[in-house]
Structure 1
């Protein structure tokens, strides 16, 4: 009886080891964290259904990996904690690759690139970033973004107001409570259309801000090599180009006219 019990226990251990060795990349769902507040990259329909460039990219990645994709709408400041805690497998949320973030997550190779630009109040004396490092200037930024970091490092004399939502930053500018809002070109371009006459946009990239976006994973994640391979294959097959045509036709034309690189002009 003791021998039978030992054999049964050994079988359970072997089975458990085998099951664990199969890796969650094979059969489990791929939990993708993103903040659905950045159209047309990350957004949701009226019924809450996620859609956009990052959503389509996530489903393409899931197909490549052979895993069912589940999109988790996550507040921006909770994105990195979500993969550190294991609540999500990967972040695909227009996240810039920075030295600070690379200390706590593993990034894929860049799949897109963007710089920071300005939404400016129409009555403000601010015309560009060159006018902002003054005590008389108030700048709105979103918490936890590269715009907030840039402001703190480059315009220390300005008053910096930090908000949790893009909408709050834009409202401050439209009402003249802030001179400018620092964010990516696509967002500032779209926000200006929401506040015509009250705002203007400067699409010139702020110095040192043009950088790549990466998909973020927990440090040491075995997924990284497969995610990198997917990005290369998806780019070579025209996947990103198709998404650009589907979602970014108007802004790409504006960028082309201004001589600025589009989001998927990644070197």
Structure 2
């Protein structure tokens, strides 16, 4: 079974911010530490502004984000038709740092990845995992989170671990790492690709597949909304999440990485995760 990017994560949420640990100082040292932090923050903000000034984006004054808004809690659509989620809020925070208006284009997951490759979007954010294959056709930001691939099965299923998927029909979302891993491990004929996670889960409910492999956070949302389904305790794979960009756009990559570093340092990224995922 594939196990990649083994890094610490919150078992309850399956997602943590990939940030450096910050330690507090007491006594008179705290004043100096505060002053140093202010200087560092000002320096980082200046660097981000300088990097943003050199940007050429798909549409002037905008940061165009390609996503698949059917993947809660990363990206989803409200009843009012607005977009929300971890990736949506993170992209908005980055756009704010860069002084750009965020433009969100919703499409299939595969199309979102192609969109940046073809120069139709500046960034792709849809719970995108960094893989060697994807690095051949697109560039990535620094990792901003880590997560896991999980397995959903019906209650009473004889599937208790990833190894038990052998000989079963597995549902996944088309183009995702869940699809890639399962195809590699069990063969293309054992995997059914659906346009989104919800459709895969509906197929599981209908008995068309024996299990669904998908990211842990949306997996928990789907299980909560579908009585009779359970999430296995054993994960299928662990992986890093990053922002996809077109090959060779160094200015954008540098600007996005600078913004991410500031958002990690000031706690914004962790607050976004905490907004959508609470520890149980």
Normalising by structure 1, report the TM-score.
Answer: 0.79
1:141, 1:161 within 8 Å by CA — same for their partners in 2?
Answer: yes
1:140, 1:163 within 8 Å by CA — same for their partners in 2?
Answer: yes
Shift of 1:116: 0.8
220, 224, 234: which one aligns with 1:204? 234
How has the CA–CA distance of structure 1 residues 142 and 212 changed in structure 2, closer, same or farther, with 3 Å as cutoff?
A: same
Equivalent position of 1:5 in the other structure: none
Shift of 1:229: 1.2
Q: Say if 2:247 is the partner of 1:219.
A: yes
The Cα offsets for residues 203-241 of structure 1, whole Å up to 9 and x where unpaired, read as: 4221xx211101011001121111111111101100112
1:133, 1:158 within 8 Å by CA — same for their partners in 2?
Answer: no
1:133, 1:156 within 8 Å by CA — same for their partners in 2?
Answer: no
Where relative contact order (Cα < 8 A, 6+ residues apart) is larger, the structure is 2
Q: Say if 2:214 is the partner of 1:183.
A: yes
162, 165, 172: which one aligns with 1:132? 165
Shift of 1:22: 5.8
Normalising by structure 2, report the TM-score.
Answer: 0.76
Equivalent position of 1:105 in the other structure: 138
Shift of 1:159: 2.4
How has the CA–CA distance of structure 1 residues 155 and 233 changed in structure 2, closer, same or farther, with 3 Å as cutoff?
A: same
Q: Structure 2 stretches of 5 or more lacking a match?
A: 1-52
**Any idea what SS the aligned residue of 1:153 has?**
helix
> Which runs of structure 2 are paired with 1:209-248 in the superposition (5 Å)?
209-221=237-249, 222-248=251-277
Q: Structure 1 stretches of 5 or more lacking a match?
A: 1-20, 254-267
How has the CA–CA distance of structure 1 residues 23 and 230 changed in structure 2, closer, same or farther, with 3 Å as cutoff?
A: closer
Matched length: 226
The structure with more radius of gyration: 1
> Which runs of structure 2 are paired with 1:85-164 in the superposition (5 Å)?
85-134=118-167, 137-156=168-187, 159-164=190-195
Shift of 1:27: 5.1
Write the distance in 2 (CA, Å) between the matches of 1:29 and 1:157: 40
Shift of 1:118: 0.4
165, 173, 176: which one aligns with 2:204? 173
Write the distance in 2 (CA, Å) between the matches of 1:27 and 1:144: 30
**Any idea what SS the aligned residue of 1:210 has?**
strand
Write the distance in 2 (CA, Å) between the matches of 1:175 and 1:80: 30
